[in-house]
Amino acid sequence: MARAAWVLVAVVGGGGIGDAVADRSRAVQLTATVAAWAIWAVVAVLLAVPSALGLTLARMIVPGAVVAAVATLVSAGATTGSVLAVVTTALAAAVVGSAEFGQQMAQASAYGDERRFLLRPPAAFYLPTVVSWVLWCAAVLVGPLALAARSWVLGVAVTAVAVAATWFLLPRFHRLARRWIVLVPAGVVVHDHVVLAETAMFRAGEITRARLALADTQAADLTGPAGGHAVEVAVRDAVTVVLAGTRDRPNGTALHVYAFLCAPTRPGKLLHALGDRHLPVG
């Protein structure tokens, strides 16, 4: 679906860029056109060769295409091209932002007999992530066009901000895309370097129950915390889990847990997969 939606962006949505820059200088027209096709090609490659890094980049770039499409609509008015640009990019962004897309991209980087289930971001990350992405997106869109329009001071300053923001934000956004609960032949692994100081391993023979968490659960919260439904996994003997360091506890906090909570984007699929591996579910 993501691939089909992205093809539609090029086939029926590309005209909006031309409408928006039709009365601009030749340099601006050329910059906008080349940048639009270059960005489209990058995302096309990311979708053709799925990976966890591709998930990060696609979720950074594709919503930016929606912003660019809305800008063309404002600049060119409600032409056929500008309206189709908004519709097709919004469709692509909706698919790329879906839990199912994230699941497929994360699994594409899996090694051997393992199944990865992407975890929802901690709630505290939403606002700073959105604000920093908006600033990054604005700099990426405005900087090259300002340079093409020979607004040298603005163009150089904003482009420098775009480069610096990309260098700073990409690894941090990628950490959020590399948060998984992983099913391996030996058991269950929580791979989350945002919440945990080190990967936590729970052996299959020690797992006594997996289910949707109840409201009054006493299980250790390893979700961040994150919103939505959490899955609770209980074990027979205590397992040591080390939480990520904080300002007060830079070396992290060790917990001895008999049950823990995780927040997969697809909790039902995780429980089905646990059942398929003959682990107790319910």
pLDDT, tens digit, 9 for 90 and up, residues 196-226 = 999 999 999 999 999 999 999 999 999 999 9
Band of the pLDDT at 89, cuts 50, 70, 90?
A: very high
- 79 lies in the same domain as 197: no
Is residue 226 assigned to a domain? yes
Closest CA to 114 of 175, 185, 48: 185
Is residue 34 assigned to a domain? yes
- 21 lies in the same domain as 131: yes
Q: What stretches of 169-219 adopt beta strand conformation (E)? A: 180-184, 187-191, 200-203, 207-212
- 81 lies in the same domain as 98: yes
What is the SS3 assignment for 267? helix
Instruction: Determine the pLDDT at residue 22.
Output: 73
- 120 lies in the same domain as 255: no
For the cut 90, the answer to whether the pLDDT of residue 239 exceeds it is yes
Is residue 247 assigned to a domain? yes
Q: CA 139, CA 225: separation in Å to the nearest integer?
A: 31
Boundary of a domain, candidates 133, 161, 177: 177
Is residue 244 assigned to a domain? yes
Boundary of a domain, candidates 116, 144, 177: 177
- What's the mean pLDDT in 19-28? 80
Burial class (CB in 10 A: 0-12, 13-18, 19+), 189: middle
Is residue 52 assigned to a domain? yes
Structural domain of 155? 2-177
- 200 lies in the same domain as 65: no
Provide the whole-model pTM.
0.91
- What's the mean pLDDT in 157-177? 96
- 136 lies in the same domain as 219: no
Contacting residues for 230 by C-beta, under 8 A, at least 6 apart: 212, 213, 221, 223, 261, 262, 263, 267
Residue 208 has phi, psi (to 5 degrees) of: -105, -20
Q: What DSSP character marks residue 232?
A: E
- 99 lies in the same domain as 162: yes
Q: How many domains does the chain have?
A: 2
Instruction: Determine the pLDDT at residue 17.
Output: 77
- 216 lies in the same domain as 148: no
Buried b (16+ CB within 10 A) or exposed e, 198-237: eebbbeeebbeebbebeeebebbbbbbebeeebbbbbbee
- 213 lies in the same domain as 151: no
- 161 lies in the same domain as 223: no
Q: What DSSP character marks residue 264?
A: B
Per the CB < 8 A criterion, the answer to whether 66 and 90 are in contact is yes
Is residue 282 assigned to a domain? no
Boundary of a domain, candidates 144, 177, 210: 177
- 158 lies in the same domain as 218: no
- 73 lies in the same domain as 198: no
- What's the mean pLDDT in 80-99? 92
For the cut 90, the answer to whether the pLDDT of residue 77 exceeds it is no
Closest CA to 38 of 46, 67, 152: 46
Is residue 281 assigned to a domain? no
- What's the mean pLDDT in 155-171? 96
